[in-house]
Amino acid sequence: MRAAAVQMSATTDVGENLETASRLVGEAAAQGAGLVVLPEKWPVLGAIHHMRAGAQPLDGELVSGLCSLASELGIDLVAGSISEPGDDERLFNSSIHVGPDGEVKAVYRKLHLFDVDLESISYRESDGERAGDEIVCSQAADGSGIGLTICFDLRFPELYRALALAGARVLCVPAAFTLETTRAHWEILLRARAIEQQCFVIAANQFGASASGIESGGRSMIIDAWGEILAQAPESGEAVIVADLDMEHLEEVRRRVPAHSARRSDVYADPGPIIEP
């Protein structure tokens, strides 16, 4: 499988962002990518009023356009995340996997909300967003399991273990990681999740300052099951990074280091049920 991560800097203009994303996804497909991952909140990134203005339901024009794009290019498209209206004023941060047949294969709503106090910012996603309550493992057209996660989820390894146990071979991390935490933690956490779970990791990050004033740190990455970085984008600037995911290599890593079969589930509990489309 050839995979790609798209790095972009979303504005508050949904139409402009869709045009940018479509162009970059097209570039990835032209390079032979059969699985393409967009960053978190690529249709609109800004303050909560911007997010509400740009929110769309799953049966709206935005998702319909993504389905057409995936079908036209013949790719599996993990469309980063979009702002999806909930049943109150708060939004879901939802990642959507669309198959090459143009059908929605899975929807994952971000479990862990970014409520933090850093030196440079204090941020409360929970003020305007709702957490999901389901772990979602989807499947690419070639049968490879795809674990869906979003940004701050990266700091919760138990989620990634649950996805690996559910059959994930590829872990997707669309993000708008802040510049500060990208520089300090991004690579370390991504490589740790790949090594722990013996999976490929595709991490598509935003870059630059959004309308909210928060700056994202770029450095989108594709990492193999041994923790090696196969492709990496710079800290700033649009980018499409591409790498071949060798599933035989993944299985060899799992044979050499039996981190899954050697688990002591008799001592510590396994995760609960996983939602599989």
- With CA atoms as reference, report the closest residue to 175 among 3, 4, 2, 7: 7
Q: Among 84, 110, 125, 172, which one carries the catalytic annotation?
A: 110
Q: Among 67, 151, 172, 199, which one carries the catalytic annotation?
A: 151
- Determine whether 110 is an active site residue: yes
Give, in degrees to the nearest 5, the angle at Cα 73 between 7 and 194.
45
CA–CA distance, 155 with 185 (Å, rounded to integer): 9
Which residues are paired to 4 by β-bridges? 36, 242
CB 150 within 8 A of CB 95: yes
CB 164 within 8 A of CB 29: no
Rounded to a whole number of angstroms, the CA Rg of the chain reads 17
The amino acid occupying position 197 is Q
Place of tokens 């479509």: 22
CA–CA distance, 166 with 66 (Å, rounded to integer): 26
- Determine whether 105 is an active site residue: no
CB 242 within 8 A of CB 32: yes
**Cα 198–chain centre separation:** 17
- Determine whether 199 is an active site residue: no
Active site residues: 40, 110, 151
